[in-house]
Amino acid sequence: MLKRFKVVVSDHDFPDLSIEKSILEPIGAEVIGAQCKTGGKSLLKFVKDADAILQQYAEIRADVIEELEKCKVIARYGIGVDILDLEACKRKGIIVTNVPYYCVNEVADHAISMALMLIRRIPMYWKAVREGKWHWSASGAPIHRIEGQVFGLIGFGKIARNIARKVKAFGFQVWAYDPYVHEFFMKEEGVRKVEFEEIIKESDVLCLQVPLNEKTHHMIGEKELKMMKNSAILINTSRGPLVDNKALYKALVEGWIAAAALDDLEEEPAKKEKWNPENNPLLSLENCVVTPHSAYYSEESIEEARRTAAEEVRSVLLGQAPRYRVV
């Protein structure tokens, strides 16, 4: 078949491009995997003459976008678009799409699992048992009943609402801070709307579920950590740079808070060609659990993200309107 379109996958961490090819090759597209996860100018040699780009982790900024010769669409495999210069895309007339619904249950379930694990101090018990300690006090700190504890949500979008509905079954009070969501809407979900300082000070579990931007970068730093209860647990199932990792290390070592669970680190290892875990001291702590930016993962969610992103590219290349246009 005559190749009508060139579609470049900037980078991907799944084993092949079979889903993308099954959707795009029938319309005459050649699908090329660049595997340029750091993005930048090094990506340009692959995408300069591309008709479309599928983007996972590689950053695509204005200096690259301005040199694209015929790109019609950049489709994100995920929800957030902070790794893409939207203004540059607008100027260039490039459509941007995302996949807004693919992992709502997965991320919510991951956040809740992290919270329950640390409230019940499962990692601490497991370490104690391996050391030959067999006693209810072996977790090293008091454990309190879940019922009545405050599960605080910073951000009240789709995933946070999913979390709220589920944790109420355990008896949590659910509070939320989100200046963009009206109190009436939260009340309908059985959630109490509070201000930022109050949710920091009063939460027993504080869960971050917001996008990364200039306002949210390091939204949890030394000041906020010192305001939290010393029995509190911090959960971040959003982007790594929301939390100042140096401040968090100090907070966990000095006992400002009890524990933390992070699904990403501030340096965002997935965006690096080489990453050394020894460079982040959080990974040495017993009271800090870290997963490799995997909260979104299930076999079903990965397939949905890939299929949806490829379908968006197909729509644009065929002159049709995409379902999930960002700009």
In the chain, where do the E strands start and end?
5-9, 29-33, 52-55, 73-76, 95-97, 150-154, 173-177, 192-193, 205-208, 233-236, 259-262, 288-290
Structure tokens at 32: 């090329």
Q: Is the separation of the CB atoms in 210 and 237 below 8 Å?
A: no
Q: If we measure between CA atoms, which residue out of 101, 76, 78 comes closest to residue 86?
A: 76
Q: Are 124 and 143 in contact (CB under 8 A)?
A: no
Question: Which residues lie below 8 Å from residue 227, measured CB to CB, with a gap of 6+?
Answer: 197, 200, 201
State the pairing for strand pair 192-193/173-177.
parallel
Q: Which is nearest to 229 in space by CA: 253, 192, 259?
A: 259
Helix (H, G, I), strand (E, B) or coil at 139: helix
Catalytic position from the list 293, 306, 311, 312: 293
Is 293 one of the annotated active-site residues of the chain?
yes
| Catalytic annotation present for 300 | no
From the candidates 30, 59, 222, 268, which is the catalytic residue? 268
d(CA 210, CA 127): 32
CA dihedral (26, 27, 30, 33) positive or negative: negative
Active-site entry in 76, 239, 306, 314: 239
Residues annotated as part of the active site: 239, 268, 293
